[in-house]
């Protein structure tokens, strides 16, 4: 007998318990900029961005993620931001490569739409799925040494967010 | 192997480190308190998450099949493993087919449970753990002591010395920023070179056949997106019905774990990258047994946030290694006996049953009640020392017979001084209560 | 009101003053208090050690002594919680009350003739707090409440001081206190340290077992701090 049959055979149908449905009554009063600050991202105006990162680049779609290993500052577009936690939804379709937001040294994301919370975020995502997508909140970080927060573990060392109208 | 009590005694012998460990994890618990208390719907979210998991576990078979079907349609290869040995063999075969001798792996408690690293090492394949904390303990030939903070038992001096030995950092340098940078450079080399990446799975969605991996460092993504082959290993209990459910779980997970609003990266793997092979290994390894027992079924709701570790006054003062299991703390103590009763018979007793764990748990697992149930099952299985069994039976007999109880009480009060000996564990660091001349009952009869 | 006083075994033998205070206090408040004289123990020591299957005799004895009462009141949150959760008789489970909850929820007292002009450190015993919900807990996002503080607030002169970690376990834990001696004592020492930081004269709680554990440590330390069960203060003239 295969493991699949063995496992499924051991799972007995249990008394019916209904799915509770979508969560109701979630808070909506959140400040996206404040959340970005909490997760360690910086918010810049479009003008300030020009001064700060004149050498930033956008990249075309590529198949070889390794070719992005030397990218210093990458600029990408996020689909929307989530006010409750500063996360930004990114999809493979809008990225040069899946690894792009991780492998670059510094990341700049443009956001023009903000939803209040994660429930609203998934309602927004209730469209055809991307082959890969992620919520990204702030720069890569770790606190694995004595719980001291260090920014720039493996992914981008900094995240700059530009909120465009 | 030392029992939890013996290992704890050794841990506590270093008072300064114990206090540091306790205070550091308490600080994490306080961060969790802060972010949970600003959400008015916090308790409702916990309840909702618990209900989603109840529903999922009640329909696990059909959700697993739905997930399999969708995942396969997405181009992901799905494997089923009944136990750890089968899991390891499947993973090894995938790596062997690729012909790799070295690979990167992000945090996966399941692969710890299966002792995958040792298994692959015996086959001549090196696993490079890429979570910083896991890489540190891997260098030291230790197990993680905490499922979210694997190296929390170590001080920066220890890490500095380990990196000096393994990465050639300057001796004496213990700056976390510097050491993290050294690990970044070291692991980047592995990410760029590795053809196979293993990751864990936080959630798998039956409706879409996708799975979600959460990290703060970005190590899971760095590995998976650069490798030709991505193997994701998950327990069958990681399934949730639909995407919208993720909103509830992602709101709870990081807030409960570290007091963050969300992990830095919550990656949704839906289809393999163009040209990439993606595998999912679904593991049972005792989970169906746990599912079939109404007393313990709830433990399968766990989302591995480790809030119960951070709040546990025993864990904070005994360290993760005292639990001698990959998953330590209160949740580990109710999971481990399901795998091996005899080897883990001490763990359900490593608790005061204070109930803090059950009340921080984001999916409302009745952890302390399950600890109590395990105590009953372990003793019924004859896993108590003979002296304990005799003592308990004697006590039960005495307390069932009021006349004998009264005589026993007189005896104990009169001779309690004899217990002031080093053989009495109470007396080692505590005075015995002073015995009154008369018991309450004796006083009451004269009233 | 007719009340049966449940006196846990170790209180009967080692802390009779707690039972005396409970009896006197309930009588002062107008209850007719009966002490079933053949009572022994709730069975918790065996059950929490994994021998719940051995408590039949103990359970039967408890039933014989207490079945005839609508209000069974005991000065121990832990023993009362055990009875509420595990006693085989539904009548017993539904009739047993921890003394603080009995005073606030059944008698609903709003004044007391009691005076205790001292600095009192409040110890929240886990089973009373989280199990019986005698007060809100730091783990949950809930409105703060405390039956113990409500009662102490009725006593003249009491100054209530809370430790920094207001509801961390003291480490008693039944047989845990000897089987896990090192952790148990460390937990107790840490609790006491926080009470010491508040310069308390007394550590007060609703569970004598926790207090016994901390008292053992305090006395070994040579500390002047004393422990008292809350009823001793509520009954203090």
Interface probe for B, chosen from C51, C138, C193 (most Cβ of B below 10 Å), is C51
Same structural domain for residues C215 and C148? yes
Q: How many CA atoms lie within 13 A of B192 on its CB side?
A: 15
Cα distance from N-terminal residue to C-terminal residue, chain B = 56
Model pLDDT, residue C237: 82
Q: Where are the domains of chain B?
A: 1-38+293-384, 41-285, 389-446
Spatial CA neighbour of B261 closest among A159, A163, A83: A83
Q: Is the pLDDT of residue A1 over 80?
A: no
Same structural domain for residues C101 and C129? no
Model pLDDT, residue C4: 98
Distance CA B74, CA B210 (A): 8
Q: Is the pLDDT of residue B88 over 70?
A: yes
Does domain B41-285 match CATH 3.40.50.10420?
yes
Q: How many CA atoms lie within 13 A of B57 on its CB side?
A: 24
Mean pLDDT of B4-18: 98
Cβ atoms of B376 and B403 closer than 8 Å: no
Distance CA B398, CA B403 (A): 8
Q: Is B300 exposed, middle or buried (0-12, 13-18, 19+ CB in 10 A)?
A: buried
Same structural domain for residues C123 and C204? yes
Q: How many CA atoms lie within 13 A of C218 on its CB side?
A: 24
Same structural domain for residues C154 and C202? yes
Interface probe for A, chosen from B145, B220, B265 (most Cβ of A below 10 Å), is B265
Please, what sign has the CA dihedral across residues B170, B172, B177, B183? positive
Distance CA C22, CA C12 (A): 12
Cα distance from N-terminal residue to C-terminal residue, chain C = 23
Interface of A with B in 92-131 (CB under 8 A): 92, 97-99, 102-103, 117-119, 121-123, 125-126, 129-131
Q: Which residues of C touch B433 (CB under 8 A)?
A: 14-15, 212, 215-216
Model pLDDT, residue B280: 98
**Last residue of one domain, picked from the residues C106, C127, C151:** C106
Distance from CA of B58 to the nearest CA of C (A): 26
Cβ atoms of B114 and B285 closer than 8 Å: yes
Any B CB within 8 A of A143 CB: yes
Interface of B with C in 125-154 (CB under 8 A): none
**A146 φ/ψ sector (left φ>0, alpha ψ -120 to 50, else beta):** left
Number of domains chain C is built from: 2
What average pLDDT does chain C have? 97
Q: Which residues of C touch B421 (CB under 8 A)?
A: none
Mean pLDDT of B360-376: 98
Cβ atoms of A132 and B269 closer than 8 Å: yes
**CATH number of the domain located at residue range(s) B1-38+293-384 in this protein:** 1.10.1060
Model pLDDT, residue A16: 84
Interface of B with C in 404-433 (CB under 8 A): 405, 409, 412-413, 424-426, 428-433
Please, what sign has the CA dihedral across residues A35, A41, A44, A46? negative
Mean pLDDT of A123-150: 92
- pLDDT for A59-82, tens place per residue? 999 999 999 999 999 999 999 999
Interface of C with B in 51-70 (CB under 8 A): 51-58, 60-61
- pLDDT for A139-150, tens place per residue? 999 999 999 999
Q: Domain holding C146: CATH number?
A: 3.40.50
Any A CB within 8 A of B189 CB: no
Q: Where are the domains of chain A?
A: 30-163
Q: Residue B87's closest chain A neighbor by CA?
A: A3
Compute and round to an integer the Cα radius of gyration of chain A: 20
Domain ranges, residue C211:
119-234
Beta bridge mates, A73: A106
Mean pLDDT of B310-334: 98
Task: Count the Cβ atoms, other than its own, within 10 Å of residue C162.
Answer: 17
Mean pLDDT of A110-128: 92
Same structural domain for residues C129 and C87? no
**Last residue of one domain, picked from the residues C106, C137, C166:** C106
Interface of C with B in 12-41 (CB under 8 A): 12-17, 19-20, 23, 35, 37-41
Q: Do chains A and C touch (3 or more CB pairs under 8 A)?
A: no
Q: Is the pLDDT of residue B76 over 70?
A: yes
Query: In the CATH hierarchy, which fold is given to the domain comprising A30-163?
Result: Rossmann fold (3.40.50)
Q: Is residue C114 part of a domain?
A: no
> Using the beta-carbon criterion (under 8 Å), do C14 and B353 form an inter-chain contact?
no
- pLDDT for C101-113, tens place per residue? 999 999 999 999 9
**Last residue of one domain, picked from the residues C106, C134, C159:** C106
Same structural domain for residues C74 and C137? no
Q: Is residue C112 part of a domain?
A: no
The two beta strands, B126-129 and B210-215, are: unpaired
């Amino acid at each position: 007998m295969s493991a699949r049959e063995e496992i499924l055979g051991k799972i007995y149908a249990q008394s019916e318990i209904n799915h509770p449905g979508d969560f109701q009554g979630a808070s909506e009063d959140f400040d996206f900029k404040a959340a970005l600050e909490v997760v360690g991202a910086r918010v810049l105006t479009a003008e300030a961005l020009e001064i700060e990162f004149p050498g930033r680049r956008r990249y075309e779609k590529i198949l070889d993620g390794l070719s992005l290993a030397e990218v210093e500052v990458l600029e990408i577009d996020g689909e929307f931001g989530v006010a409750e936690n500063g996360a930004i939804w990114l999809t493979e379709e809008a990225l040069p490569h899946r690894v792009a937001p991780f492998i670059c040294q510094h990341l700049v994301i443009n956001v023009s739409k903000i939803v209040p919370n994660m429930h609203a975020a998934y309602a927004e995502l209730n469209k055809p799925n991307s082959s890969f997508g992620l919520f990204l909140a702030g720069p890569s970080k770790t606190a694995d040494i004595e719980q001291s927060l260090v920014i720039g573990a493996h992914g981008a060392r900094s995240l700059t967010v530009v909120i465009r109208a | 192997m030392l029992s939890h009590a013996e290992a704890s005694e050794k841990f506590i012998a270093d008072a300064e480190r114990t206090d540091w460990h306790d205070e550091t994890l308490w600080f994490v618990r306080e961060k969790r308190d802060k972010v949970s208390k600003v959400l008015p719907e916090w308790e409702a979210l916990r309840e909702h998450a618990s209900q989603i998991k109840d529903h999922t576990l009640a329909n696990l078979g059909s959700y697993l099949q739905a997930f399999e079907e969708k995942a396969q349609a997405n181009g992901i290869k799905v494997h089923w493993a009944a136990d750890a040995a089968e899991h390891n063999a499947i993973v090894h075969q995938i790596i062997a087919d690729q012909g790799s001798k070295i690979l990167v792996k992000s945090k996966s408690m399941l692969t710890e449970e299966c002792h995958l690293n040792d298994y692959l090492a015996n086959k001549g394949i090196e696993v490079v753990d890429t979570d910083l904390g896991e890489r540190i303990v891997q260098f030291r030939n230790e197990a993680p002591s905490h499922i979210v903070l694997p190296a929390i038992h170590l001080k920066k001096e220890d890490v500095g010395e380990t990196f000096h030995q393994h990465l050639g950092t300057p001796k004496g340098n213990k700056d976390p920023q510097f050491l993290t940078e050294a690990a970044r450079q070291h692991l980047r080399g592995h990410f760029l070179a590795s053809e196979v990446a293993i990751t864990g799975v936080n959630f798998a969605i039956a409706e879409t056949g996708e799975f979600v991996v959460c990290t703060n460092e970005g190590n899971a993504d760095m590995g998976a997106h650069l490798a030709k082959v991505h193997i994701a290993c998950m327990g069958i209990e990681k399934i949730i019905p639909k995407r919208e459910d993720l909103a509830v779980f992602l709101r709870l997970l990081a807030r409960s774990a570290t007091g963050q609003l969300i992990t830095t990266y919550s990656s949704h793997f839906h289809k393999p990258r163009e040209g990439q092979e993606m595998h999912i290994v679904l593991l049972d390894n005792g989970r169906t047994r746990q599912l079939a027992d109404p007393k313990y079924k709830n433990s399968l709701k766990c989302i591995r946030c480790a809030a119960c570790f951070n709040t546990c006054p025993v864990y904070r003062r005994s360290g993760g290694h005292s639990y001698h299991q990959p998953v330590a703390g209160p949740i580990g103590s109710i999971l481990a006996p399901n795998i091996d009763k005899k080897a883990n018979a001490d763990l359900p007793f490593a608790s005061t049953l204070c109930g803090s764990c059950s009340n921080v748990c984001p999916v409302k697992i009745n952890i302390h009640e399950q600890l109590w149930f395990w105590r009953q099952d372990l003793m019924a299985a004859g896993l108590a020392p003979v002296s304990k069994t005799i003592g308990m039976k004697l006590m039960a007999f005495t307390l069932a017979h009021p006349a004998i109880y009264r005589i026993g009480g007189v005896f104990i009060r009169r001779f309690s001084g004899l217990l002031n000996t080093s053989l009495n564990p109470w007396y080692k660091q505590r005075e015995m209560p002073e015995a009154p001349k008369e018991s309450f009952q004796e006083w009451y009869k004269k009233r | 009101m007719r009340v049966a006083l449940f006196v846990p075994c170790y209180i009967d033998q080692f802390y009779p003053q707690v039972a005396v205070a409970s009896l006197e206090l309930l009588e002062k408040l107008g209850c007719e208090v009966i002490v079933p004289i053949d009572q022994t123990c709730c069975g918790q020591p065996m059950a929490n050690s994994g021998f719940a299957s051995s408590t039949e005799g103990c359970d039967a004895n408890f039933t014989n002594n207490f079945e005839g009462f609508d209000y069974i009141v005991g000065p121990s949150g832990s023993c009362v919680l055990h009875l509420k959760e595990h006693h085989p008789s539904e009548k017993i489970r539904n009739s047993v009350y921890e003394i603080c909850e009995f005073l606030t929820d059944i008698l609903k007292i709003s004044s007391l003739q009691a005076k205790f002009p001292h600095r009192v450190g409040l110890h929240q015993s886990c089973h009373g707090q989280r199990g019986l919900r005698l007060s809100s807990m730091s783990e949950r996002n809930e409105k703060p409440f405390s039956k113990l503080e409500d009662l102490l607030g009725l006593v003249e002169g009491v100054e209530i001081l809370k430790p920094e970690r207001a509801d961390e376990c003291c480490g008693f834990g039944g047989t845990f206190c000897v089987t896990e001696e090192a952790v148990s004592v460390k937990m107790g020492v840490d609790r006491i340290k926080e009470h010491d930081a508040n310069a308390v004269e007394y550590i007060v709680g609703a569970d004598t077992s926790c207090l016994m554990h901390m008292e053992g440590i305090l006395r070994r330390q040579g500390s002047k701090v004393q422990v008292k069960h809350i009823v001793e203060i509520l009954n203090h003239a």
